[in-house]
Each structure stands twice: as C-alpha cells, then as structure tokens.
Structure 1
Amino acid sequence: MRLVMVRLESLGDGTVICSDIIDPLGRLLLKAPKPLDPLTKKTLLNRGITEVVVEDTRVQSQVEDLQDIAMEIELLKKRLFRLSESPAGEELRGVILETVESFYAKNHHPSS
C-alpha cells in the first residue's frame, strides 16, 4: 500500500483518509482510517486542513491491469496453439499475437 498526500478539496465522498489528522494545537480532529463524507470534509476545511493522506490506488490497479493482460496473452497463445500445425497457421498465429500485444502496449501503458 502506497500512501500519498493529496488536496482535501479534490477528494470525493467515500475516499478513505489513512492518517490521523491533528490540528496545530495537537488536538485529534480525525482518527484514521475514516471514509470521507461531506460533513467531515467541510469541518476539516473550516479548521484549515488542506491536505490529507490517502492510499494511492492507481499504482496497484496498474500492476493488476498489467498482470491481467499478461495472463490473457498467455491464454491466447494456448488457444492459438493448434494454428502452429501448419506454416500458414503459424504465420497467422504470429500476426494475431503481435497485433494483440501491440494493442495492449499502446492502450494500457503504465503511464496512462
């Protein structure tokens, strides 16, 4: 789990705040973990809290996407194995795999 500091005003309802929030006087304003709701958000903003710590789910979902893609390509290779029985089939298998891998490389790049 990777934690990141984000602007409170950018968060939507249900986002889980992962770190306790303490005001400048040392008072506990929020005990983590706590899902954000409109009242909590408004209260924190009124108390001068502008940033909170949340879990960065983007990284994990990208890793899961890449793992799913790799698994799908391996399954496709197994499904297309029978095409390898003839030279024309082997060529077709190569074109299909190259096309699928190229598509995933262009459309599921980790930086997107």
Structure 2
Amino acid sequence: MNLVSDIVTSVLILSGAVLALTAAIGVVRFPDTLSRMHAATKPQVVGLILILLGAFNHLRGNVDIWMIALVGVFTVLTAPIIAHTVGQVAYREQRVRKGLFMVDELRADEKGEHEDRTD
C-alpha cells in the first residue's frame, strides 16, 4: 500500500509542477495583460492544488495537513478576486488589446450607457 501511495503522491506533485511550469511560461510568453493574467491564475491554481493534494497524501496523519488545506482554500478564494482586480486595472490603464473583446461592457459603463439586452 505504501508503494501505491508514493506513486499517487509523485504523479500529483509532478503534474502540478508541470502545470505551474506551463503557467510560468505563459506569463513570460503571452503578449498582453489579460492573456498573462489567464496564464497566471488558471493553471497556476490547479497546479498548486495538485501539489497540495500530493503533499496531503504524503503527510497523512500529520498535524500540518490542516495548514495545507488552508493554503488551498485561501488560494481558491483569492485567485479570482485578484484576477478580476488586475483585469480592471489593466483595462483602465488601457493595457489590453481591443481586438480581444467581442462586447466591451466596461466602455458602456464608463460612458453611462446602459443597454437593455434581450437575448
């Protein structure tokens, strides 16, 4: 049973590390703030959760398990808020490519225009 647990732990930690690596490469390679923000939040959080699950599996029965669980919960709760705030600041400072937007709802809000849409 110990061998199976070690294999599961290794797979979780390695897959989380690969996701974190791809997130880091995306942050460096993507051209604009919104793309970088996507790379910094989505795969980074999933990679961290996988690494924490691997550590959780390895440290079964240890008192530090609850600290690992708290790190995971706080990461999942704060990452969307941080991404939203960074996106708003990038939009206000005009550091986004306008071609990415199909609908620019923030521009309508800035002008005071409110459209009632019936989709």
TM-score range for the pair, normalised by the shorter chain length: 0.3 to 0.5
Give TM-score scaled by structure 2 length: 0.33
Rg larger in structure: 1
Give TM-score scaled by structure 1 length: 0.34
Q: Which has the higher strand share?
A: 1
